Amino acid sequence: MYELPPYIINWIENNSNELISIWDKSGKVKFISKSVIRILGYTIEELDEISWYDLLSPEDVSQIMSYYADTEKDHNNHKFNINIRNKHGKYIWTECAISMVGDEEDDGYFYVSMLKDISDKKETEEMMIRSEKMSVAGQLAAGIAHEIRNPLTSLKGFMQLLQAGVNRKEEYYKIMIDEIEKMETITSELLFISKPLTNNKKEEIVEVMVHEIVALLLPQARLKNVDIKWKRQDNHCVYCDRSQIKQVLINIVKNAIEAMDEKGTIQILISATDVKLEIAIIDDGPGIPEEIIHKLGEPFFTTKKSGTGLGLMITNQILEKHDGKLEIEQNTNRGSTFKIILPLPNE
């Protein structure tokens, strides 16, 4: 094989967008490309005394170590989006592909990683997500205002009765508290979707998340004469970021409501096998033509007059980060089914 001159190798190392490194099982660096100076600001000598986990956020260290501790996982070329601290103490977003490679000499192993700075891409994604979340909040505002006005009218009536000196105070107090709690639930969920997405994964109960997003979206559904049906039968846990999976649920159920041109029903069914959980959102709207199903999720492709096409794109990105996926099917008679599929945590 032709051997490249050293000046060409140096040019590649100094100008490459990727940082290539090799680490032993104790976390010490065995090799690192010269691009580390440009990407992270460290010299190669400075990294001699640093372990890989000293450069990462604690959450990312935990994520990587738990992944490689699982012997059933494929340990070749797995990709992580992680925060790495540069020499100036600033964390930068990176995409990191890591493979675990056997070491024939000492019957051990080491890790080979290829890292790319994706800070600009991440900032663009977060800007689009914020834009879409605020758009969703604005679209839901009319239904929520209508939903809050009814309990406010009730509260006003009961306050007037109490001022008049009625005797059924305890009964009225209970009704008033119930009405206030309804408003509190709706406004809390509206505030929740306007906040930035977090990146804090832990075991969450799916049925709780579904209950919360249904409470938020019911006002919009009622405005369109749409009924949302779901029945809590069990508690299924998935390892996920709560804010991200709730955003996925909001995007899909909201799309289903908007797809309904007349009175109809949306069903939410939750089922699980030993290894995966499936949330099916089934509507009886007009359905999606087969020829465009594969285009859903592409940036700025939308079938709605006022849509941005970002909702399903964001949904697919979130599910990919959770090792999940979205499947879209035409129903036999009418409407569409959107299936959110997520892996279940190992026992």
Residues 122-129, mean pLDDT to the nearest whole number:
68
Give the C-alpha separation, 193 to 16, whole Å.
39
The dihedral region occupied by 253, where left means phi > 0, alpha psi between -120 and 50, and beta the remainder, is: alpha
| Single-letter amino acid, residue 142 | A
Give the C-alpha separation, 135 to 137, whole Å.
5
Residue 312's closest CA among 267, 277, 281, 276? 281
Residue 79's closest CA among 18, 35, 133, 24? 18
Q: What percent of the chain has pLDDT over 90?
A: 10
Does residue 48 contact residue 29 with C-beta atoms inside 8 Å?
Answer: yes
Residues 159-181: pLDDT tens digits? 777 777 777 777 777 777 877 87
pLDDT at 278: 94
- Give the DSSP H/E element, type plus range, for residue 98: strand 91-103
**Mean pLDDT of all residues belonging to the chain:** 77
Lowest mean per-residue pLDDT among 48-57, 102-111, 250-259: 102-111
Residues 97-121, mean pLDDT to the nearest whole number:
76
pLDDT at 2: 46
Q: Which value, to the nearest 10 degrees, does the dihedral of the CA atoms of residues 204, 206, 208, 209 take?
A: 90
pLDDT confidence band for 308 (50 / 70 / 90)? very low
Give 234 or 178, the one with higher predicted confidence. Answer: 234
Lowest mean per-residue pLDDT among 77-86, 114-123, 208-217, 284-293: 284-293
Q: Which of 20-34, 134-148, 243-257 has the highest mean pLDDT?
A: 243-257
- Specify the residue for token string 């409470």: 215
Q: Which DSSP state fits 52?
A: G
Give the C-alpha separation, 172 to 167, whole Å.
10
Residue 256 CA to its chain's centroid (Å): 19
- Bridge-based pairing state of the strands 264-272 and 226-230: parallel
pLDDT at 71: 65
| Single-letter amino acid, residue 214 | V
* Domain over 6-117 is classified CATH 3.30.2080.10: no
**pLDDT exceeds cutoff 50 at 255:** yes
pLDDT confidence band for 268 (50 / 70 / 90)? very high
| Single-letter amino acid, residue 282 | I
**pLDDT exceeds cutoff 60 at 151:** yes
Angstrom CA distances, 5 to 142, 182, 261, stand at: 67, 72, 67
The set of residues, in sequence order, having a beta carbon less than 8 Å from that of 39 and lying 6+ positions away, is 19, 86, 115, 117
Q: Which of 28-32, 225-229, 343-347 has the highest mean pLDDT?
A: 225-229
Give 38 or 107, the one with higher predicted confidence. Answer: 38
pLDDT confidence band for 1 (50 / 70 / 90)? very low
pLDDT confidence band for 280 (50 / 70 / 90)? very high
pLDDT at 301: 43
Does residue 43 contact residue 37 with C-beta atoms inside 8 Å?
Answer: yes
* Alpha helices per DSSP H over the chain: 6-15, 35-39, 58-69, 119-163, 169-194, 206-223, 242-259, 290-293, 310-321
Where along the chain do its domains lie? 6-117, 122-343
Which superfamily does CATH assign the domain made up of 122-343 to? Answer: Histidine kinase-like ATPase, C-terminal domain (3.30.565.10)
Would you say the C-alpha torsion 92, 239, 79, 31 has a positive or negative sign? positive
Lowest mean per-residue pLDDT among 219-228, 269-278, 300-309, 324-333: 300-309
pLDDT at 200: 79
Q: Which of 36-40, 178-182, 202-206 has the highest mean pLDDT?
A: 202-206
Residues 289-296, mean pLDDT to the nearest whole number:
56
pLDDT at 341: 93
